[in-house]
């Protein structure tokens, strides 16, 4: 992997012992084993060191972001804050840029999203992402791109963050379909009708159609609904197969499915597939009941 063109980066980790171990061993054995951390990367447990940068990437479970921004808003107020998290805050129904605007109104909010497993990027495999920011900055785009990570820029932050959040809900559903042995045709139907739901809600909330059709929407939907690397897909698979799933694993689609079901109810959006996901993850209905409910809906135009 060539990181020759990557500038200095500081990675903050909450656990001092883990930060020290990563800094000295040059490996994150818990989450990214087998990848040597590049020389320009410094790992620290000292938040002030990370906050010295002008550009800060936020990569934490979505339901943690509001608390983090509220706690550190003073230090973050003038920064460029780029969310890598994919989800909707369940308490407020806001995406990452909405949370940034709420807690750090003077910060510049951006979203980095699209089809990309962290392990693939870290291994230098070719990857393309969407960088969304209301003020389009080619400089930010160039700074974050590497020889193997190609960024496309857009000003459509709403579309980019909703695409990344919503696809996780359908990845759980797709995993359930495959885990339950319902077949590839059923998965294709679910992805297509799921994409239709994604477009319906995102366009109503101000997203642009081309963003939904791009890397951050359609692209990430394909990846997460078809890859067993996806934690959302794997949780769904376990649900479908009646297997146990480790509850400590970050699976963003669970909370996002609840947030989006609330959004759908409050705004009158029809999202029948998304509505099944919280019912399944809360074990309120069986997979057979969910399938039956979807197949017996009134016939309609496509
Ligand atoms: N892993 C992947 O391939 C990708 C992940 N993402 C997104 O990145 C976000 C984080 O996911 P992962 O890093 O994969 O999850 P993870 O579970 O591997 O790591 C989460 C990290 O957040 C930290 N964390 C938890 N609560 C925190 C808090 N209150 N304040 C600060 N840090 C906290 C944890 O200590 C841990 O280091 C999610 O929204 C996910 O959808 C996006 C694209 C790819
Ligand atoms: O967002 C991702 C890939 O683009 C990661 O997916 P999971 O969170 O389902 O592992």
Q: Flag whether the pTM goes above 0.90.
A: yes
Is the model's pLDDT at 4 over the cut of 50?
no
Asked if residue 187 has its Cβ within 6 Å of ligand 1, the reply is: no
Residue of the nearest CA to atom 33 in ligand 1? 60
What are the residues facing 43 on neighbouring strands?
11
Asked if residue 68 has its Cβ within 6 Å of ligand 1, the reply is: yes
Q: pLDDT tens across 46-81, in order?
A: 999 999 999 999 999 999 999 999 999 999 999 999
Element (H, E) at 12: strand 9-12
CA distances to 257, 261, 274 from 264, in Å = 10, 5, 9
Buried b or exposed e, range 114-133, using 16+ CB within 10 angstroms: bbbbeebbbebeebbbbbbb
Cα 232 to ligand 2 centroid, rounded to whole Å: 7
Whole-number Å distance between alpha carbons of 57 and 68: 13
Give the β-pairing of 80-83 and 55-58: parallel
Cα 139 to ligand 1 centroid, rounded to whole Å: 26
* Domains delineated in the chain: 9-158 (3.40.50.720), 165-295 (1.10.1040.10)
Q: pLDDT tens across 181-215, in order?
A: 999 999 999 999 999 999 999 999 999 999 999 99
Whole-number Å distance between alpha carbons of 250 and 55: 25
Element (H, E) at 102: helix 96-103
Is the model's pLDDT at 5 over the cut of 90?
no
Which position among 79, 167, 258, 284 bears the catalytic label? 167
Among 111, 112, 48, 56, residue whose Cα is nearest residue 81: 56
What is the DSSP code string of 264-277? Answer: HHHHT---HHHHHH
Residue of the nearest CA to atom 8 in ligand 2? 231
Q: Tell me the torsion sign for CA atoms 252, 276, 167, 65.
A: negative
pLDDT for res 136 = 79
Q: pLDDT tens across 12-39, in order?
A: 999 999 999 999 999 999 999 999 999 9
Cα 230 to ligand 2 centroid, rounded to whole Å: 5
Question: Is 231 annotated among the ligand-binding residues?
Answer: yes
Asked if residue 253 has its Cβ within 6 Å of ligand 1, the reply is: no
Q: How many CB atoms lie within 10 A of CB 64?
A: 14
Flag whether the ipTM exceeds 0.85: yes
- Catalytic residue list contains 167: yes
pLDDT for res 227 = 98
- Output the ligand 2 site: residues, CB below 6 A: 86, 115-117, 168, 171, 220, 223-224, 230-232, 252
Whether the Cβ atoms of residue 97 and residue 122 lie closer than 8 Å to each other: no
Quickly tell me which residue has 């109104």 as its tokens: 105
Cα 301 to ligand 2 centroid, rounded to whole Å: 32
Q: pLDDT tens across 268-297, in order?
A: 999 999 999 999 999 999 999 999 999 999
pLDDT for res 137 = 84
Mean pLDDT value across residues 158-177: 98
């Amino acid at each position: 992997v060539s990181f020759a063109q990557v500038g200095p980066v500081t990675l903050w980790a909450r656990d001092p012992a883990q930060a020290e171990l990563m800094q000295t061993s040059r490996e994150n054995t818990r989450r990214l084993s087998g990848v040597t951390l590049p020389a320009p990367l410094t790992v620290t447990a000292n938040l002030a060191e990370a906050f010295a940068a002008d550009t800060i990437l936020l990569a934490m479970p979505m339901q943690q972001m509001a608390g983090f921004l509220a706690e550190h808003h003073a230090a973050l107020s003038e920064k460029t804050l780029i969310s890598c998290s994919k989800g909707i805050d369940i308490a407020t129904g806001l995406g990452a840029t909405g949370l940034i605007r709420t807690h750090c109104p003077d910060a510049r909010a951006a979203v980095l999203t699209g089809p990309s497993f962290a392990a693939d990027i870290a291994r230098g495999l070719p990857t393309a992402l969407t960088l969304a920011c209301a003020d389009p900055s080619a400089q930010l785009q160039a700074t974050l791109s590497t020889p193997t990570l190609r960024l496309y820029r857009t000003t459509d932050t709403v579309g980019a963050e909703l695409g990344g959040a919503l696809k996780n809900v359908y990845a759980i559903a797709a995993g359930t379909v495959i885990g339950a042995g319902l077949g590839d045709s059923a998965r294709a139907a679910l992805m297509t009708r799921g994409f239709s739901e994604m477009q319906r809600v995102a366009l109503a909330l101000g997203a642009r159609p081309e963003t939904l059709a791009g890397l951050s929407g359609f692209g990430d939907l394909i990846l997460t609904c078809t890859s067993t690397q996806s934690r959302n897909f794997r949780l769904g698979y376990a649900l479908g197969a009646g297997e146990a799933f480790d509850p400590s694993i970050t699976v963003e689609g669970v909370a996002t499915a609840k947030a989006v079901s609330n959004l759908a109810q409050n705004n009158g959006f029809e999202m029948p597939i998304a509505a099944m996901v919280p019912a399944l993850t809360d074990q309120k209905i069986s997979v057979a009941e969910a399938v039956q409910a979807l197949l017996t809906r009134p016939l309609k135009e496509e």
